[in-house]
Amino acid sequence: MSIFRVFAFSLLASTAAFAESATVDTPHTSVELVSEYEAAAPGTDQWVGVYFKPRDGWHVYWKNPGDSGLPPRGEFSSTPGGSKFGPIEFPTPDRIPYGPLVNYGYEGSVLYPAKWSAPADLKVGENVVVAVNLKWLICKEECVPGKATLNLKLPVVEASALPKTSGTHTKILKSAVASLSRPSEGRVRVAFGSGTDPIEISFQGTEAKGISKGRLKSVFFFPEGEYGIGADAKQVATAVPGGFTLKVPRKEAKPIGEFRGVLKIADETSFLVSEIVDPKLVQGTKTVAGTTGTSPASPPSTSLGLMLLFAFVGGLILNLMPCILPVLSIKVLGLANQSGANARAVRVHGIVFTAGVFVSFWILAAVLLSLRSSGQALGWGFQLQNPIFVGVLAALFYGMALNLFGVFEIGDRWVGAGGSLAAKEGYGGSFFTGVLTTVAATPCSAPFMGSALGFALTQPPFVAVLVLTVLAFGLAFPYLLFSFLPAASRVLPRPGAWMKVLKEVLAFPLLATVVWLASVIGSQAGADGIVGLLTVLVFVTIAVWLLGKPTTRTIPTVAKWALLAVVVVLAIGALGSLGMMRKEMKAAGSTKSPLVHAPWQEWSPEAQSKALAAGKTVFVNFTAEWCVTCKVNETVVFERESVRQAFAGERVVALLADWTNSDPAITAALASVGRNSVPVYLVYKPGAAAPKVLPQILTVDGLLSELR
């Protein structure tokens, strides 16, 4: 099924495959729905829980994940209905440092318990099914989202018989419940200063009497909310008679309505902290009553501002990427056309161009988020993985080139009646140029942009659209700025005969782009695909000849439109054949990437693991035939003899992951390092905990230095 048909269905209903058992296994963790007893009794309470067993090095999160991450979310239900479920409880977490970031979570097995009150009308001898609709995020050096619906079937017995049904998970569940943070019972006091003054937490109790300096270093307060406390902030505990005082630095003077968290004294000792804070409070000491309740905490958003900055800078740099060059010709021509216009008209052109960029980015975001919500693993530039879309883009650029060569002109009837014809055509052209700029930008990923995109597509839709909007603003900003600077327009010469020559010269980059797109289709659909594209271009030529050449005016109107309709139908059929050709290639087993040749080896998770196990340095090149930045690096860096020799040596294994066509394994690997676009270059060193992500614009010396 084509990706566009998937999109159509996703607009009607989002679907996903869920597990229909008590256990689900993924490459990174197993997840199991467990119960305190292996049966249920009418009107009784027992604990149920979600039991994660992450693979080595992977971790899941606490309710406040720290600098990054997301906590598990679960909705419990039962069949028959009538059950009552408490909230998911979170055991006391650990600090998990990752570079400059600190996360709160669990690196080993962890059980998230929840209280279950069974319906009083359960019938003994029948079964009750407990279900949880679960979503989670699991991370190592990379992060992978997961979701499943877990079902646990339990027989219904008499209440007196329930304790006799203790099973394999009874001890684990009771241990998890026992390790939950306890109420502080008045032994915790909190002093709030003004502004960014540290928060002081004092504890008095037998657990802290005579506490050693070593244990003092392990004392830590885990805030449920942000409260202006950075997860990486260094908290310092000082011994006082009968206990200790912990200073918790604040990075920002954020208002605190309810102060909640967990004070961890030792691995097995932690206390709940909860206090309603007077917003007028400046300084003073408040007694904090402990509670056993929990409330969902919003994940910190400290990185959003940085990601928005990355998105804007990435959009700016995107203007310098080679994928924008075809559209640059249209921009240059547009600026030349506007050089004689008044300042107000030039500003409007800039605003309309920006609107075209924004609207096309929003449409792209809507499609991408809709497809991802329906379970599709997609990334930036996903539409170029479809040969039909590539064919449409090639036909569009080809038609534009014919227009610049003067093969056809758009007459007045295509613009509309009334008003200033030139203004309408010009503003429409500016909007279309904005749309085309976005389309042309998708094969590229600029520095900073990869991080922003990877962040955006793991966030809620509003945040994702916000990041993409800022990226769009960065892309449009130079043109918008130029249009608002009166002095800039005076740099350009006045319109004249020279523009006809410029117009024709600028058609050549568009034709070069068509050749490049033909090579992309060759990788996707083979030689037959290139023939199919050439057929489409023939039909485009016939269509524009019918529409635009004065010599065709002698053809009767009815005959002309009938012929045009036939040409359009044939062109659509030729485009559709491109998708069929790719399916035939896959069915014939012709899926090996044509980009893989010595010294490259084809990437796979198994090949990567095997090379690392052998003690090799592994370089992974995530690329695509339609990625212009990738092609530049290939020519300028990878084809250099010194680099080829380094890749061919015994110490380095060079793996190539070809994302020209949609590949879920490659998409998942990109997501694991927080990316969803290409190029991405990774260097894995033996024994290193994480790969090093190299810049998207490579240099020979820089690459060789990383491989040493």
Residue 11 above 90 pLDDT?
no
> Considering the domain boundaries, does residue 296 fall inside one?
no
Question: According to the model, what pLDDT value does residue 468 have?
Answer: 84
> Considering the domain boundaries, does residue 125 fall inside one?
yes
> Considering the domain boundaries, does residue 363 fall inside one?
yes
Domain end, chosen from 132, 162, 178, is at 178
Compute the distance between CA of residue 297 and CA of residue 276 in angstroms, rounded to an integer: 15
Question: According to the model, what pLDDT value does residue 626 have?
Answer: 72
Query: Same domain for 70 and 152?
Result: yes
> Considering the domain boundaries, does residue 594 fall inside one?
no
Whole-model pTM: value is 0.42
Query: Same domain for 446 and 482?
Result: yes
Question: According to the model, what pLDDT value does residue 316 have?
Answer: 82
Instruction: Calculate mean pLDDT across residues 166-188.
Output: 79
Query: Same domain for 259 and 309?
Result: no
Secondary structure (3-state) at 38: coil
Domain span holding position 102: 12-178
Query: Same domain for 134 and 29?
Result: yes
Angle at which helix 325-338 crosses helix 343-373, to 10 degrees, equals 150
Strands 29-35, 23-25: pairing kind: antiparallel
Band the pLDDT of 326: cuts 50, 70, 90.
Answer: low
Instruction: Calculate mean pLDDT across residues 181-185.
Output: 74
Question: According to the model, what pLDDT value does residue 280 have?
Answer: 42
Band the pLDDT of 421: cuts 50, 70, 90.
Answer: very low
Give the residue, 33 or 482, on which the prediction is more confident: 33
Band the pLDDT of 490: cuts 50, 70, 90.
Answer: low
Give the residue, 456 or 232, on which the prediction is more confident: 232
Q: Considering only 305-314, 320-329, 375-384, 635-644, which range has the smallest mean pLDDT?
A: 375-384
Query: Same domain for 569 and 674?
Result: no
| Average pLDDT over all residues of the chain | 75
Residue 117 above 70 pLDDT?
yes
Residue 378 above 70 pLDDT?
no
> Considering the domain boundaries, does residue 143 fall inside one?
yes
Question: According to the model, what pLDDT value does residue 8 have?
Answer: 33
Strands 680-684, 617-623: pairing kind: antiparallel
Instruction: Return the percentage of the chain with pLDDT > 70, whole number.
Output: 72
CATH number at residue 60: 2.60.40.1250
Q: Considering only 38-47, 107-116, 147-156, 382-391, which range has the smallest mean pLDDT?
A: 382-391
- Tens digit of pLDDT for each residue in 554-598? 677 777 777 778 877 877 777 666 655 555 555 444 455 566 777
Question: According to the model, what pLDDT value does residue 574 have?
Answer: 72
Query: Same domain for 213 and 358?
Result: no
CATH number at residue 628: 3.40.30.10
Query: Same domain for 420 and 524?
Result: yes
Residue 184 above 80 pLDDT?
no
Query: Same domain for 445 and 559?
Result: yes
CATH number at residue 234: 2.60.40
Q: Compute the chain's Rg from CA coordinates.
A: 31
- Tens digit of pLDDT for each residue in 656-669? 998 877 677 787 78
> Considering the domain boundaries, does residue 299 fall inside one?
no
| Paired strand residues for 189 | 202, 287
Query: Same domain for 348 and 331?
Result: yes
> Considering the domain boundaries, does residue 408 fall inside one?
yes
Question: According to the model, what pLDDT value does residue 546 have?
Answer: 76
Give the residue, 265 or 158, on which the prediction is more confident: 158
Give the residue, 254 or 539, on which the prediction is more confident: 539
Residue 704 above 80 pLDDT?
yes
Angle at which helix 507-548 crosses helix 387-404, to 10 degrees, equals 80
Q: Which residues contact 640 (CB under 8 A, 6 or more apart)?
A: 700
Quick one: CA torsion of 575, 7, 629, 667, rounded to 10 degrees?
Answer: -120
Query: Same domain for 54 and 94?
Result: yes
Compute the distance between CA of residue 169 and CA of residue 176 in angstroms, rounded to an integer: 10
Domain end, chosen from 560, 587, 614, is at 587
Give the total number of structural domains in the chain: 4
Q: Considering only 232-236, 422-426, 504-508, 616-620, which range has the smallest mean pLDDT?
A: 422-426
Q: Which residues contact 229 (CB under 8 A, 6 or more apart)?
A: 199, 223, 248, 249, 250, 251
Residue 449 above 70 pLDDT?
no
Q: Considering only 266-270, 340-344, 407-411, 555-559, which range has the smallest mean pLDDT?
A: 407-411
Question: According to the model, what pLDDT value does residue 513 have?
Answer: 78
Q: Considering only 151-165, 177-191, 548-562, 581-595, which range has the smallest mean pLDDT?
A: 581-595
Sheet of 45-54: strand order equals 23-25, 29-35, 45-54, 110-117, 84-85
Question: According to the model, what pLDDT value does residue 491 have?
Answer: 60
Geometric angle at alpha carbon 31, from 26 and 33, rounded to 5°: 150
> Considering the domain boundaries, does residue 7 fall inside one?
no
Instruction: Calculate mean pLDDT across residues 326-347.
Output: 65
Query: Same domain for 228 and 160?
Result: no
Assess contact for 156 and 123: CB atoms under 8 A: yes
Residue 354 above 80 pLDDT?
yes
Give the residue, 300 or 221, on which the prediction is more confident: 221
Compute the distance between CA of residue 183 and CA of residue 620 in angstroms, rounded to an integer: 50
Residue 706 above 70 pLDDT?
yes
Query: Same domain for 619 and 687?
Result: yes
Compute the distance between CA of residue 328 and CA of residue 312 in angstroms, rounded to an integer: 20
Domain end, chosen from 258, 287, 316, is at 287
Band the pLDDT of 132: cuts 50, 70, 90.
Answer: very high
Residue 412 above 50 pLDDT?
no
